[in-house]
């Protein structure tokens, strides 16, 4: 089901989220260079700051999808972001019987578009300071800008901030965020 969601043309609209940063040829994320010619998964596995995210993507069965053509924009929570969840949450989500719940959480971090921070900032400005972002998991995130930083508010009212923007991939872009975005209920 999630593969069909990822490939849905209806979700290919541009999203709105990001931060203003200087573009580097191979930006460093989690102590590793991110190469534009590699896909999202190939780069993420090298980041020391995203080991929980990589484990979750594997447990949810989303590796093949995120290695696909895309384009995808991934808001990638760090290990510290996962660690800030209530005690036991990550372990519970990684259990095989919770695969669907885990996939829902993860796909609420993915948009079927290639959205660099400049495009996101423009959409936020064009919409008067806040822009709704529909994820492939069906979540609606509220993107806004505050002091030059881009924030995403999830359906529970929690806000994640983009800490590293515009990490170009062969099949999209990654924006590193400091909180896990959660669906309502």
How high does pLDDT run on average in the chain? 86
How confident is the model at residue 147, as a pLDDT? 86
pLDDT digits (tens, 9 = 90+) for 4-46: 333 332 222 223 233 333 344 678 899 888 989 999 999 999 9
pLDDT digits (tens, 9 = 90+) for 154-183: 999 999 999 999 999 999 999 999 999 999
Please give the model's pTM, rounded to 2 decimal places: 0.85
Domains and CATH numbers, the chain: 2-177 (2.30.180.10)
pLDDT digits (tens, 9 = 90+) for 117-132: 999 999 999 999 999 9
Per-residue burial over 152-166, b if 16 or more Cβ lie within 10 Å, else e, is bbbbeeebbebbbbb
């Amino acid at each position: 089901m999630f593969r069909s969601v990822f490939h849905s043309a209806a979700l290919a609209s541009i999203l709105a989220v990001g931060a203003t940063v200087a573009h580097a040829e191979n930006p460093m994320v989690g102590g590793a260079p991110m190469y534009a010619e590699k896909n999202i998964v190939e780069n993420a596995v090298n980041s020391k700051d995203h080991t929980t995210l990589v484990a979750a993507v594997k447990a949810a069965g989303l590796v093949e999808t995120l290695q696909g053509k895309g384009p995808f924009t991934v808001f990638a929570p760090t290990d510290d972001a996962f660690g800030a969840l209530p005690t036991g949450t990550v372990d519970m989500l990684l259990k095989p019987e919770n695969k669907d719940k885990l996939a829902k959480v993860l796909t609420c971090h993915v948009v079927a578009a290639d959205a660099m921070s400049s495009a996101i900032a423009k959409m936020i400005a064009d919409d008067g300071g806040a822009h709704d972002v529909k994820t492939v998991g069906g979540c609606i995130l509220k993107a806004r800008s505050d002091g030059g930083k881009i924030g995403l508010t999830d359906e529970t009212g929690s806000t994640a901030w983009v800490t590293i923007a515009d990490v170009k991939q062969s099949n999209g872009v990654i924006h590193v965020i400091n909180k896990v975005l959660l669906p309502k209920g």
